[in-house]
Structure 1
Amino acid sequence: MKIISYPKALWFAALLISSCLFAQNKTGRDLVLLDKGWHFSFGHLYDTNKDFGHATGYFSYLAKTGYGDGPAAASFDDRAWRQLDLPHDWAVEQGFSEKASFSHGFKAAGKGFPEKSIGWYRKKITIDKEDLGRVISIKFDGVFRNSKVWFNGHFLGTEESGYNGFEYDVTAYVNYGGENTIAVRVDASMEEGWFYEGAGIYRHVYQQKTNPLHVIENGTYVTSVIENNTAQVTAEVTIENKGNYKGAIEIVQTIVDASGKTITTASEKATAPNFYKTGLYQSVLQVNNPLLWDVDAPNLYRLLTDIKQEGKVVDRYETTFGIRTIKFDAERGFILNGKILKLKGTNNHQDHAGVGAALPDELQYFRIKKLKEMGSNAYRCSHNPPTPELLEACDKLGMLVIDETRLMGINKLHLGNVQYLIERDRNHPSIICWSVGNEEWNIEGNITGERITNTMQDFAKSIDPTRPVTVAISSGFRSGISSVVEIMGYNYLGNGDVDAHRNEFKQQPGMGTEEGSTFATRGIYFTDDAKHYQSAYDKKPRPSFYSIEEGWKFYGTRPYMAGMFIWTGFDYRGEPTPYGWPSVTSYFGMMDNCGFAKDNVYYLKSWWGKEPVLHILPHWNWEGMEGKEMDVWVYSNCDEVELFLNKKSLGKKKMETLGHLEWKVVYTPGTLEAIGYKDGKKILTEVQKTTAKAEKIQLTAHKPSLDKDNDAVVITVETTDKKGLHVPTVNDEITFAIKGGGKIIGVGNGDPTSLEKDVFLDEMAFAAITNLEEQALTATALPSALPAYPEADWQEAFKNRDYKKQAASYVYRGVFDLEKVSPNDVVSFFYQKIGTTSAVFVNGTKVTASAEDAQKYVFDSVILKPGKNTITIVTTPLVRLRDWDAMNTNPGTIQIVTKAEAWKRKLFNGYAQVIVQADGSNSDIVLEASGKDLKACTLTVKATAPKK
């Protein structure tokens, strides 16, 4: 090995020149979304053959740099794999199994299913030659879970948690001006939570390009102090130098408002950090008459951080922030911008009907809007850091947030996760509190819990002193964590004496971090344990748990309590308490997992919202129950409500504050009507009518148009009778077809016992070519018809091949098995070259390559047969240029694609949901819905020009 040594001064000068040239030719940063066009396939948890031979090479990727093998190698042929776009959750695509995880909703994935617990993702990208000299990184918002990443065969690292974002610098590994390969192996065999978490790259992936002198990821921290209608904004920025520029820099901080108008600017002279070092810099800016961020007026600003080198901008970093004040007070509760605000919160896991954990960005906004409509103003991230888009939605829509880390502890794993969480999220004005733990029963009441909490709490304060810290506690409120945590989080009134704890720790603010855990099935009003249905009336679910009304009456009437967070806003997959199989989702939500309201929504809307509310339950379709007494409840914030059945008054009742009204009513078909009064005047009328049979399908989109390439629309499916009335008892199956510029990505209906498919995908199977044999030939010309070769001359292919003395050509023969042959199946051969030029025959018939790919052959079903099929390849040999070259001996993969059946879903108590995503073609989307004995419906969702 020859080592070339350069003078140190010359080496630094070369790098300095490179850096300066870069600064002149490339400024700022590029952030490119890499969601489109990934290839995916399942690997295997422990069978390396089924894991594509990964990690079986003599030198592993951990032993030698650049030695990724199997799918981790840049040269791996993934053409036969499924093509998809991110975000992607492979767990939601699986069927259900009683043997699968209770907590993950009995989806047939995870450690009990080794063939569905490992997923491989690969994507090829081109990076321009002009980018040489820039810092190139790949950024992942989150992968569930235990991901390993390679770039051009170079191992980059592992991220165990499925909730942390991470990025890798790939600058040194880039093939500039050519193709580059990202490979990700995801191991979802272990669970981090006891709730559905999905599997795969379920958040966004980006490519980032920056100047060597740049703001680090999550490298700004914006705080403000408000006094006399003026905000003093402190902007801290951490700059990294991955080049060798040494000298003066200028840091320009500019605040702009929502319209882009410049509000104020500040400039600081500084010195660049040293090579591969960081520097922390601070600027103070003044904003006069600031527009405060509030739940009703979520005003946002942007901080533009420009790094200048020799007068030129080399990096610009944007930070969205809000100006507001928050305070938790032990006597007055929570205070926002100097005004007391009761926290009306919900807990939520991050999954949705049809799509699992891989939510399009628009679904984050859809769900937060649903909670806001209910009157909620606060959201607890249960029990992990959320995707960034959720917090962006909360910022823009005005939803307060408790942001929560996953595990309690004091080591690098635990504190590192806390640091990442806070540094990533601390500029979001929506976040009012950091939660560092949830129901850690083993340590809640002892000295270990105290020590851990004190450490985590102080550590969090060292990163962000502007927000308090809480822990949600459920095993009693007496000692341990409860006595030292800054904001006490009470989980469930039945778990301890909240008032007694409050009286002992009067200087400690508190809130109900979880309350409720009530059971309800949307549209069901009689509990049926045989069918796993729970009545939707708000009842005490278990002896140690309280109803929604009981919980809010407790926290809503105690001024020193900041508020209450209900378990949960939405139903979620997994934890199907109080049942098990075949229930697959929870029953706790105020809404089902589609976002369709259960009746408790209207109780909360009555006492959380600002508008008049009047709601009757149950529906009034009870064929066969004529003459039987029914419980009729009314949720309202009116002073009084009068109930009528078929225009006959059943009495007027006065509404109790934070309560509801009840009547006993003998069922008679017709019209149940409620009239609400305020100050003696009739202000609202609500009816429940007995409907006729369902005759028509109705489709309603949550918004009229799509305006982004990856935008999504949520479509409600229901049936109506001949008068157009919604029929609340129908469970018909509806079939869907879509045309235009979009695709269906998921369907649901809110039924906790539904084992229907969430996703309808083409089924993809692979057949290996086995028993590969060869014969040496003397002719160089390839045959147009398959000759008869002597059976006695066949021998094992590539065995003892002398690559210096090869024949003029070779014929190879192998077999592949097909379980069935159907004209509806597409059988393709993805050929991997075992020769320079080749002729391919199947069962004696010559096949031709496809126009799209010269190494892909699509077989006509007429030449195939069930069982064993013979493939023959005649080819001129590859030449080994170097003795150590590894020659390909794998002829390729047979792929069998069975087309998916039509998208469909049964209505559940009158409703179903379809989620449609734009495909980037900017064309209108037409969804058609049909069902037996029902009038079909067509809905058009308009496409508007994508926003720039």
Structure 2
Amino acid sequence: MKKIQYHYILALFLIVSFSANAQEKISLDEDWKFHFGHAANPEKDFDYSKTALLHKSNVFATTVVNPKFVDTAWASVNVPHDWVVELPFVNSPQVEMDSHGYKPVGGMYPETSIGWYRKHFTVDKSKSSKRFELQFDGIYRNAEIWINGFYVGTNFSGYVGNSYDVTDYINFEGENVLVVRVDATQYEGWFYEGAGIYRHVWLNITDKIFIPVDGIFVHAEVKGKNAIVNIETTVQNNNLQASNGSVYSYITDRNGKVLAKTAEQKITLGVHKNTTVIQKLNLNNTRLWSLDDPYLYRVISVVKSGNQIVHQTKTRFGIKTVRFDAKKGFFLNEKHLKIQGTNNHQDHAGIGSALPDYMQYYRIKLLKEMGSNSYRASHNAPTPELLDACDSIGMLVLDEQRLLNSSPEYVDQFKRLIKRDRNHPSVFLWSIGNEEQNIQGNDYGKRIAQTLLAIQQDLDPSRTSTYAADMPNVYKGVNEVIPIRGFNYREYAVADYHRDHPNQPLLGTEMGSTVTTRGIYEKDEIRAYVPDQDITHPWWASKAETWWKLAAENDFWLGGYVWTGFDYRGEPTPYKWPNISSHFGIMDVCGFPKNIYYYYQSWWTDKDVLHISPHWNWPEKIGKPIEVWVNSNADEVELFLNGKTLGKKVMPRNSHLKWEVIYEPGTLEAIGYKKGKKITSKVETTGTAYKIILTSDKTILTADGKDATVVNISISDDKGREVPIADNMVKFYLSGDAKIIGVGNGDPSSHEPDKCKDGMWQRSAFNGKCQVIIQAGKTNGSIKLEAKANGLQSASTTITLVK
């Protein structure tokens, strides 16, 4: 008991003694001004290419970077902000237009491919002895940054953020003006990427002896029930003279109880130099991070100058073991686990790439409910909040470098990626690149891979790497040196590769790629839809059953990642216009499940799954045969139409069942038996659309101006059954301190706006469903969303905002 009391007293002492010197991390997300520039017309780009902005350190000419420039007529926006999602769809034959969702962005659209942002803020003069740093989590792309007329730097990457010391440029006597020019004329990917400051922006205020961003690395060695925790703390001195100090760290549980503490280690720092202190702590009775118990410890790293604490950071971390066995597969905490993963891009219906933090948790939760246990960030650095969600919910992450390139620019991006993400327990494997067809199979690729692998091992020796190779049984180039061989498709070649290279673990980095349109059951070349069953795939890919049977039944497969978990804008396949988004998702762009969802859920979970498709509203097919699919993990299933049996069938492992049924209206019911347990499911012929039903994912939001929730809308008949063919236009009315930030319906050929003008929010239902995303304001109280449609009973839902 005395020991416990001591720990709590110690924690309290540290908090109290530090409070007077606390560093600050201030959000700069709100109250930006935005205006389009122009990539081809200097006059419309604020004379950017005609005015000398780099000839002097401080530019106070009449330019857009001048703090006195008048921006009051510019649009007011908050970040994260994606300007592309608000642009109209354009049917253009220009290269890459289809891949980017037919949005007018890129070199052929100079008028909507440059964006200027300006932000005004003040800093109290009492902080004039502090250090100031701007942190951008992500800007798409090629961003140039000025503050108070001083050029700060350029961040080339659209995905890896960067930080800039601006201490020398802060104005304590008046406004500070931050200016960012974003150039999206050149793409980085072949999918929808958005544009703008689409992740968070921070102002970090610290002492001049400080721990840099990403200056902590925590990793552990598990020893039975205990662990040795290695804490590497980098400390930097930005004073104008050498400084002395000390460093120590302590570990707490999730409730703040102190579990272990290092001794203070003295350090001497030269002028503008840094040093890294390595300390070890023993942690007894370790609670391992796992998918079912994603337990997170905290390490608090403390820097003192004299007797005063000048900087401390808190880092969440988890302890786990990972083992890749070339013959037996993957082991997490020495328990065998088949990787049941999905690939995903980062956009969502209604909001493009500018996702509130809540949306990361929402999307990961949907994937986990389906049975997925791993997320591949394809093909770029994810936002930090996605990793936070995976840490908290229990989802492994394959974290990927944008390009297989060892130039100084891409090496710098790779280093920033690893240092940013290496403390996340969800990250279990790095990927050094994806499908570099021109170099992956030759000596260039091999040498680049070796360079990147050496960097990865130096910065993070606790993990290893893979590479997503679209190559069959080929052992050359990257594959000669990569520790984990990744296969993009070519599932037919995995067994042969394993036979020829039995000591190299194998992972399906991209698998499947069935194309489906939710709720559609016949090929439609006019609207560009494909049937919602596991039957259609592009030439380079395979059906879900084809790859998963091989992965599930062979231990040497570590598992794999389906292309993709969610539909995403761009890359429409197999059609082009009017398609503006992909069909690859197991769920659509809103997160509504397609039928293939239930195939994966059947074999990726222990849940009782029994799902019948298609729906049973086919008045034009009375007396005609309909192919009925049943996805289930039951041992056997019997199908009934209006009470009459259509036969009982044994469910093949990792497969599905089919019946040919002569259609008549009524009830189609399945009864399954799973280990002796009876489970049932049915689809019914519904009445006509009668009313709207609203379902909010959350009913309580934090009144911080950032929290959000998804409200899903379904159209039902008078008995409350969803009408699977309903396409009513639904209008939305929101009252209270909140705002709608996007709408969607999962239709890959819909050209309705995701962002409605003048507050007139609406979206048509697509096969019975649509979606609204609401973001909280800052006032305690209630907000009310009403949904109305001509001829239907309206609906409303109330959400509470609390501080």
The amino acid that maps onto 2:381 is P
How far 1:109 sits from its partner (Å)? 2.4
**2:53 equivalent in structure 1:** 60
2:74 pairs with 1:81: yes
**2:369 equivalent in structure 1:** 373
How far 1:336 sits from its partner (Å)? 0.5
The amino acid that maps onto 1:615 is H
Q: Does the 8 Å CA contact 1:353/1:758 hold for their aligned counterparts?
A: yes
Q: Does the 8 Å CA contact 1:733/1:907 hold for their aligned counterparts?
A: yes
Gaps of 5+ in 1: 1-22, 762-899
Name which of structure 1's ranges 444-453 and 633-642 shifts more when overlaid on structure 2. 444-453
2:655 pairs with 1:659: yes
Distance 2:637 2:55 in 1: 72
Q: Does the 8 Å CA contact 1:483/1:505 hold for their aligned counterparts?
A: no
Distance 2:49 2:222 in 1: 57
Distance 1:128 1:638 in 2: 66
How far 1:136 sits from its partner (Å)? 0.6
Distance 1:28 1:561 in 2: 49
2:484 pairs with 1:487: yes
Distance 1:409 1:52 in 2: 35
Pairs aligned (count)? 782
**Partner SS, residue 532 of structure 1:** coil
TM-aligned CA distance change 1:372 to 1:195, over 3 Å: same
2:704 pairs with 1:698: no
The amino acid that maps onto 1:43 is G
Q: Does the 8 Å CA contact 2:135/2:201 hold for their aligned counterparts?
A: yes
Match for residue 164 of structure 1 among 160, 182, 185: 160
**2:266 equivalent in structure 1:** 270
**2:209 equivalent in structure 1:** 213
Q: Does the 8 Å CA contact 1:644/1:673 hold for their aligned counterparts?
A: yes
**1:794 equivalent in structure 2:** none
**2:682 equivalent in structure 1:** 687
Match for residue 331 of structure 1 among 327, 334, 348: 327
Q: Does the 8 Å CA contact 2:138/2:159 hold for their aligned counterparts?
A: yes
**2:8 equivalent in structure 1:** none
How far 1:408 sits from its partner (Å)? 1.1
**Partner SS, residue 283 of structure 1:** strand
How far 1:901 sits from its partner (Å)? 5.7
**2:768 equivalent in structure 1:** 910
Name which of structure 1's ranges 671-680 and 384-393 shifts more when overlaid on structure 2. 671-680
2:579 pairs with 1:583: yes
Match for residue 702 of structure 2 among 688, 698, 707: 707
**Partner SS, residue 722 of structure 1:** coil
Distance 2:689 2:54 in 1: 62
Distance 2:485 2:85 in 1: 36
How far 1:530 sits from its partner (Å)? 2.1
**Partner SS, residue 529 of structure 2:** coil
Q: Does the 8 Å CA contact 1:40/1:121 hold for their aligned counterparts?
A: yes
**2:405 equivalent in structure 1:** 409
How far 1:114 sits from its partner (Å)? 1.0
Across the aligned residues of Structure 1 and Structure 2, the Cα RMSD in angstroms comes to 1.5
**Partner SS, residue 50 of structure 1:** helix
**1:290 equivalent in structure 2:** 286
Q: Does the 8 Å CA contact 1:471/1:487 hold for their aligned counterparts?
A: yes
Calculate the TM-score normalised by the size of structure 2: 0.96
2:250 pairs with 1:254: yes
**Partner SS, residue 218 of structure 1:** coil
**Partner SS, residue 481 of structure 1:** helix
What are the superposed Cα offsets for residues 567-605 of structure 1, whole Å, 9 maximum, x if unpaired?
000000000011111100000000000000001111111
2:344 pairs with 1:353: no
What are the superposed Cα offsets for residues 447-491 of structure 1, whole Å, 9 maximum, x if unpaired?
221111112112211111111111011133312222221100011
**Partner SS, residue 924 of structure 1:** strand
How far 1:247 sits from its partner (Å)? 4.7
The amino acid that maps onto 2:614 is P
**2:712 equivalent in structure 1:** 716
Q: Does the 8 Å CA contact 2:471/2:490 hold for their aligned counterparts?
A: no
The amino acid that maps onto 2:484 is I
Gaps of 5+ in 2: 1-16
Q: Does the 8 Å CA contact 2:59/2:65 hold for their aligned counterparts?
A: no
**Partner SS, residue 122 of structure 2:** strand
TM-aligned CA distance change 1:159 to 1:928, over 3 Å: same
The amino acid that maps onto 2:698 is K
Q: Percent identity?
A: 45
**2:30 equivalent in structure 1:** 36
Distance 2:498 2:230 in 1: 36
Q: Does the 8 Å CA contact 1:347/1:381 hold for their aligned counterparts?
A: yes
**1:110 equivalent in structure 2:** 106
The amino acid that maps onto 2:39 is L
**Partner SS, residue 458 of structure 2:** helix
**1:94 equivalent in structure 2:** 87
Match for residue 933 of structure 1 among 791, 794, 800: 791
How far 1:26 sits from its partner (Å)? 5.7
The amino acid that maps onto 1:701 is S
**2:141 equivalent in structure 1:** 145
**1:674 equivalent in structure 2:** 670
Q: Does the 8 Å CA contact 2:398/2:428 hold for their aligned counterparts?
A: yes
Distance 2:677 2:756 in 1: 53
How far 1:943 sits from its partner (Å)? 1.5
Distance 1:717 1:540 in 2: 28
**1:632 equivalent in structure 2:** 628
The amino acid that maps onto 1:48 is P
Distance 2:443 2:216 in 1: 36
How far 1:626 sits from its partner (Å)? 0.6
Distance 2:118 2:278 in 1: 41
Q: Does the 8 Å CA contact 2:18/2:309 hold for their aligned counterparts?
A: no
Q: Does the 8 Å CA contact 1:374/1:604 hold for their aligned counterparts?
A: yes
What are the superposed Cα offsets for residues 125-154 of structure 1, whole Å, 9 maximum, x if unpaired?
110101111001111000000101110011
How far 1:281 sits from its partner (Å)? 0.5
How far 1:246 sits from its partner (Å)? 3.8
What are the superposed Cα offsets for residues 340-379 of structure 1, whole Å, 9 maximum, x if unpaired?
1110000000000000000010000000000000000000
Q: Does the 8 Å CA contact 2:471/2:487 hold for their aligned counterparts?
A: no
2:423 pairs with 1:427: yes
**Partner SS, residue 178 of structure 1:** coil
2:42 pairs with 1:48: yes
Q: Does the 8 Å CA contact 2:237/2:243 hold for their aligned counterparts?
A: no
**Partner SS, residue 284 of structure 1:** strand
**2:617 equivalent in structure 1:** 621
How far 1:245 sits from its partner (Å)? 5.5
Distance 1:685 1:228 in 2: 45
The amino acid that maps onto 2:605 is G
**1:450 equivalent in structure 2:** 446
**Partner SS, residue 308 of structure 1:** strand
Distance 2:141 2:788 in 1: 39
**Partner SS, residue 350 of structure 1:** coil
What are the superposed Cα offsets for residues 907-933 of structure 1, whole Å, 9 maximum, x if unpaired?
000000000000222332211111111
Q: Does the 8 Å CA contact 1:55/1:69 hold for their aligned counterparts?
A: no
**Partner SS, residue 263 of structure 1:** strand
Name which of structure 1's ranges 453-462 and 186-195 shifts more when overlaid on structure 2. 453-462
TM-aligned CA distance change 1:306 to 1:175, over 3 Å: same
Q: Does the 8 Å CA contact 1:53/1:69 hold for their aligned counterparts?
A: no
Distance 2:292 2:605 in 1: 12
The amino acid that maps onto 2:38 is H
2:69 pairs with 1:72: no
**Partner SS, residue 727 of structure 2:** coil
How far 1:72 sits from its partner (Å)? 1.2
Q: Does the 8 Å CA contact 1:245/1:272 hold for their aligned counterparts?
A: no
**Partner SS, residue 279 of structure 1:** strand
2:393 pairs with 1:388: no
TM-aligned CA distance change 1:69 to 1:539, over 3 Å: farther
TM-aligned CA distance change 1:708 to 1:550, over 3 Å: farther
**1:318 equivalent in structure 2:** 314
TM-aligned CA distance change 1:938 to 1:24, over 3 Å: closer
Q: Does the 8 Å CA contact 2:578/2:749 hold for their aligned counterparts?
A: yes
Calculate the TM-score normalised by the size of structure 1: 0.81
How far 1:269 sits from its partner (Å)? 2.3
